[in-house]
Structure 1
Amino acid sequence: MRKHHPKFISKIELGKGIPSVSYNLRHGGAALIDRKNPRQSLPALMKFGEYLEKNKRSGVIFPEGTRSKNGKPKPFQTKGLEVLFKKTPSALIVPITINNSWKMLRYGKFPMGLGNHLKFTVHKPIELATFADKQELINSIEKTITKSIES
């Protein structure tokens, strides 16, 4: 992923207090959004999408939002995807399924779930331009990701 210069969309709380990570999120081109304030997040996502398109960077979004507590994925929050699709018409979408990440914080922050095996599945890339109906594309991505979740 390094050669694609990934930039992340993350909650604003991650922008402070985590050495190196917070600094990179604040100064590296990421979009920090306040999930409690949708009025702030939409302009931030628009600016982020324009930045990605202009600089040919890749964006990483977790449309499920908060990690599930039992491994069953929550429904996608589609607004962020819709904004990014509008602002980055030349995008190539690569859905990725992450299995067992919920086990890391199953008991809260302590004890951390050490020894869990995380499995990443990188799915076939999709060209945004090939889909006229963006909602159909979002449903297709969600189905692809959720189908690969292992219980």
Structure 2
Amino acid sequence: MNKFFGYILTPFHYLYFGLILVIFHPIQWICLKLGGYEAHKRSVDILNWFLTSSYYLLGNSVHFINNQQLPVAQPIIFIANHQSMYDIPPLIYFLRKHHAKFVSKIELASGIPSISFNLKYGGAANIDRSDPKQSIAEILKLAKNMKDKNWSTVIFPEGTRSKTGVMKPFAVGGIATILKKVPHAIIVPVVINNSWKMVQYGSFPLRAFTAMSWEVLAPISSEGRTAEDVVKAAEEAIREKVVP
């Protein structure tokens, strides 16, 4: 049934999703040129509200749970499992007050309306996985902005999406680099459930009538702990909450 209705509803989703990207590309440009970072960020927040709303055209639901009292004037490293590209718009929108930036593949920073513009000009770390020196430089630039501007970051330590929802081991590298430069950053795990099901059948059809959730878990103290210990604790907290 989910697949059957997916065939019917997916074209409407893609049409709406694509129109949003095309419309917001010039809007972002105008906001950045006339209003600087703050205006551009507001446009990106609104963009991602619309992108998240596109999930509803498939009959899918978005539940974002955040019962944590997190400070807005302190850098946060949000550590999340990664199930699909549809993980990202709700994270950007619902964590908007934390100015959360992403560590992204450099290939995504060109050729995609709206998304590439935001990655290029919005403060993301766009890394070339074939060039370790460039990758470290990008992450260090992000860390400096976190320290100087109280920005936050969202990192997917699995390194790639899980196509079945089963978590892959977490890598420490990028998080350790940021913690060295921003030792006062708060570590906050985020567990994502069932977004992989939206692309269970591939890019067409998308799965319809799927309940997806994002939950912000309790912060993890990094005081007196190595980056490896912190990431392991985050991984264990997320793994306990992932629905098989």
Q: Verify: 1:85 aligned to 2:179, yes or no.
A: yes
State how far apart, in whole Å, the 1-side matches of 2:136 and 2:201 are.
33
Deviation (angstroms), 1:65: 1.5
Deviation (angstroms), 1:132: 2.8
> What's the TM-score once normalised by structure 1's chain length?
0.91
Worse-matched range after superposition: 138-147 or 35-44: 35-44
> How many aligned residue pairs are there?
150
1:101-139 CA distances to partner (integer Å, 9 max, x unpaired)? 2212222222222332211111002343x2332211111
1:23-82 CA distances to partner (integer Å, 9 max, x unpaired)? 111101111112233332112111211111111111111111211121110111211111
Partner residue, 2:121:
27
CA distance 1:143–1:2, change in 2 (3 Å): same
CA distance 1:148–1:39, change in 2 (3 Å): same
Partner residue, 1:49:
143
Q: Verify: 1:10 aligned to 2:119, yes or no.
A: no
Q: Which has the larger radius of gyration?
A: 2
Check conservation: 2:104, 2:126, Cα contact below 8 A: yes
Partner residue, 1:147:
240
Check conservation: 1:52, 1:58, Cα contact below 8 A: yes
Check conservation: 2:175, 2:227, Cα contact below 8 A: no
State how far apart, in whole Å, the 2-side matches of 1:80 and 1:30 are.
13
**Matched residue SS, 1:95:** strand
Percent identical residues: 45
**Matched residue SS, 2:147:** helix
Check conservation: 1:93, 1:127, Cα contact below 8 A: yes
Deviation (angstroms), 1:5: 1.2
**Matched residue SS, 2:159:** coil
Amino acid at match of 2:174: G
Partner residue, 1:100:
194
**Matched residue SS, 2:211:** coil
Q: Verify: 1:136 aligned to 2:226, yes or no.
A: no
> What's the TM-score once normalised by structure 2's chain length?
0.58
CA distance 1:42–1:144, change in 2 (3 Å): same
State how far apart, in whole Å, the 2-side matches of 1:131 and 1:147 are.
24
Check conservation: 2:220, 2:230, Cα contact below 8 A: no
Worse-matched range after superposition: 91-100 or 12-21: 12-21
RMSD: 1.5
State how far apart, in whole Å, the 2-side matches of 1:44 and 1:99 are.
29
Unaligned runs of 5+ residues in structure 2 are 1-94
Higher relative contact order (Cα pairs below 8 Å, separated by 6+ residues): 2
Which aligned runs of 4 or more in structure 1 are off by greater than 4 angstroms? none
The structure whose residues are more often helix, as a share, is 2
State how far apart, in whole Å, the 2-side matches of 1:114 and 1:43 are.
41
State how far apart, in whole Å, the 2-side matches of 1:47 and 1:126 are.
24
